[in-house]
């Protein structure tokens, strides 16, 4: 094996032009040629042509050689007119690169000769001097561990036995449950503007209070009590629910939009002024305006223009005399409207009632108290279209002659489920009272205040019959001074308590109450006299039905011997 003997290059020698990075130019080319070291020769390759490395690198070497040759030719042609500057090394004598082709070719050849020659020749042995690796297995490598399938089966059984705890959402993250919660908060804390329902009407005088309660302290307390207005509280918890998160805000807005009520005209003005993108879009099921005596029609029209009445079931204008609700409201809600209360109106008349009854046939409650322009014609139209009424009230103080038996009788005929009737001040007669007694077995509240056409005979006859008014709990007969015989009412009140377990609330004026107390006293006096007479007759009767002493002794001895 032939190879070129080479020595390692010295790093400290300045004659080593390969590793020295500092180059200085010389003007004298001869001195440069004289002092330049001999170029290094390439080392011979020791790769055998039959080896695997030669097989993989042969094609690569040929391509590298072609690239080097093309590079040398291209650089000679391009640098034929190139003028080199002088470079100087600080540790070497000055030398100069020649700009001619000879120097470039010589330097290039020297660079190429300094690289090791990895080509094979005839002197390269077929095998390398490297120690051959023995053909044997590696005994130091351990066998891979075997997978234990029993552990997998045991793990599977554990996963089946142990229940997987899934993260369930909170109840406050479920919209349906959250809606129920906020609706409950609304029902518990929202107070609608309504008159509180009194236990009984306020006494007309101190004497009247004494006749009702029979106690000085209770009478004075009843006179001092006033009917309180239930106003909505300003600190509603629903306002805090709006600030929790987006879901709370959305659900709370839905709950708030279902009720619209106001008892102050300034609130309606603010509602109109604050209309914007973020305003709650009202689609109420309940609409109440309470005691807006001075509110006029233009303001009401602006308010309802921002409200959708398609889901309305309760419409109330309590003592709003200057407001006439448009028929379009009742066209929107239609059959969904169940409760209609318009009291103290000076605008509503029979034409309005006639149109309303056509669009809202499913009404269950109608309250037209003190709406004095409504007459028999309007009530007749209601009886033709509304067949599911449970509560009606047409009471009034003035123009009572507008409502008579002709309309009320027909209304009773078509609505047998009525349980509350208010006809105070109407010109009804005994005919209507008999029809109520015969045709309405479920009647519980009956107001007949100031009905002067009712006779004393009909009152005593109807309330003396134990088959009539078995569920009646409230009866109002104020200012019916034509009633003289009140014994039937006293007996009816006691019968309701002992037979039906109902405490009857009987409302009478001061005059009738005084008459009833006198007649009640006479009745109690007569009853007590009868009881005393029965006891006296039993005590003084010789043959009272008891056994004598001798008969008792004989009966005792017989029992002992037996």
Residue-wise pLDDT for 373-428, tens only, equals: 999 999 999 999 999 999 999 999 999 999 999 999 999 999 999 999 999 999 99
Look-up: residue for tokens 């351990």? Answer: 142
Give me the phi and psi of 554, to 5 degrees please: -60, -40
Task: Give me the pLDDT at residue 92, please.
Answer: 47
Q: What share of the chain is helix, strand, coil (3-state, %, to 5)?
A: 45, 10, 45
SS3 46: coil
Task: Give me the pLDDT at residue 47, please.
Answer: 52
445: tokens are 């509240």
Contact yes or no for 97/34 (Cβ under 8 A): no
Q: Is the pTM of this model over 0.75?
A: no
How many residues are listed for the chain in this entry?
562
Question: Strands 229-230 and 314-318, how do they pair?
Answer: unpaired
Q: Which are the contacts of 93, defined by CB distance < 8 A and separation ≥ 6?
A: 26, 31, 35
H or E element, residue 67: helix 52-78
Low-confidence ranges of the chain (pLDDT < 50): 1, 3, 11-29, 32, 35, 45, 79-115, 120, 229
């Amino acid at each position: 094996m032939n190879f070129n003997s080479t020595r390692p290059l010295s790093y400290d020698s300045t004659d080593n032009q390969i590793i020295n990075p500092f180059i200085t130019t010389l003007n004298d080319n001869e001195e440069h040629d004289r002092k330049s070291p001999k170029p290094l020769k390439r080392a011979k390759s020791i790769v055998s042509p039959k080896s695997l490395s030669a097989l993989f690198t042969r094609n690569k070497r040929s391509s590298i050689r072609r690239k080097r040759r093309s590079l040398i030719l291209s650089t000679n042609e391009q640098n034929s007119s190139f003028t080199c500057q002088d470079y100087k090394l600080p540790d070497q004598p000055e030398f100069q690169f020649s700009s001619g082709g000879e120097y470039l070719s010589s330097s290039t050849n020297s660079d190429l000769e300094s690289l090791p020659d990895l080509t094979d020749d005839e002197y390269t042995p077929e095998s390398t001097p490297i120690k051959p690796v023995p053909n044997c297995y590696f005994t130091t490598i351990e066998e891979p561990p075997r997978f234990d399938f029993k552990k997998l089966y045991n793990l599977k059984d554990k996963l089946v036995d142990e229940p997987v705890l899934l993260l369930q959402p909170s109840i406050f993250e479920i919209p349906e449950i959250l809606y129920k919660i906020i609706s409950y908060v609304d029902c518990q804390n929202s107070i609608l503007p309504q008159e509180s329902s009194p236990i009984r009407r306020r006494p007309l005088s101190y004497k009247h209070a004494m006749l009702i309660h029979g106690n000085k302290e209770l009478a004075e307390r009843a006179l001092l009590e006033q009917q309180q207005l239930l106003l909505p509280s300003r600190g509603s918890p629903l306002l805090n629910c709006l600030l929790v998160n987006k879901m709370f805000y959305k659900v709370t807005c839905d709950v708030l939009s279902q009720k619209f009520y106001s008892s102050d005209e300034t609130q309606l003005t603010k509602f109109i002024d604050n209309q914007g993108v973020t305003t709650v879009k009202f689609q109420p099921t309940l609409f109440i305006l309470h005691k807006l005596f001075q509110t006029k029609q233009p303001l009401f029209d602006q308010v309802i223009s921002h409200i959708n009445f398609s889901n309305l079931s309760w419409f109330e204008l309590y003592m709003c005399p200057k407001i006439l609700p448009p028929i379009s409201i009742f066209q929107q809600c239609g059959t969904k409207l169940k409760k209609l209360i318009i009291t103290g109106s000076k605008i509503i008349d029979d034409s309005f009632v006639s149109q309303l009854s056509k669009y809202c046939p499913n009404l269950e409650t109608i309250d037209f108290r003190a709406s004095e322009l409504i007459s028999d014609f309007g009530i007749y139209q209601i009886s033709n279209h509304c067949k599911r009424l449970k509560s009606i009230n047409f009471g009034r103080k003035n123009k009572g002659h507008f409502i008579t038996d002709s309309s009320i009788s027909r209304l009773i005929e078509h609505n047998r489920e009525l349980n509350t009737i208010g006809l105070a001040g109407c010109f009804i007669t005994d005919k209507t009272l008999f029809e109520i007694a015969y045709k309405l077995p479920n009647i519980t509240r009956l107001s007949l205040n100031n009905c002067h056409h009712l006779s004393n005979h009909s009152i005593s006859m109807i309330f003396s019959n134990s088959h009539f008014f078995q569920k009646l709990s409230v009866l109002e007969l104020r200012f019916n001074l034509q009633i003289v015989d009140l014994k039937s009412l006293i007996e009816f009140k006691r019968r309701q308590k002992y037979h039906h377990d109902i405490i009857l609330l009987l409302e009478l004026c001061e005059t009738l109450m005084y008459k009833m107390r006198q007649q009640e006293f006479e009745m109690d006096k007569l009853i007590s006299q009868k009881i005393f007479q029965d006891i006296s007759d039993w005590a003084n009767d010789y043959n009272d039905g008891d056994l004598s002493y001798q008969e008792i002794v004989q009966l005792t001895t017989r029992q002992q011997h037996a």
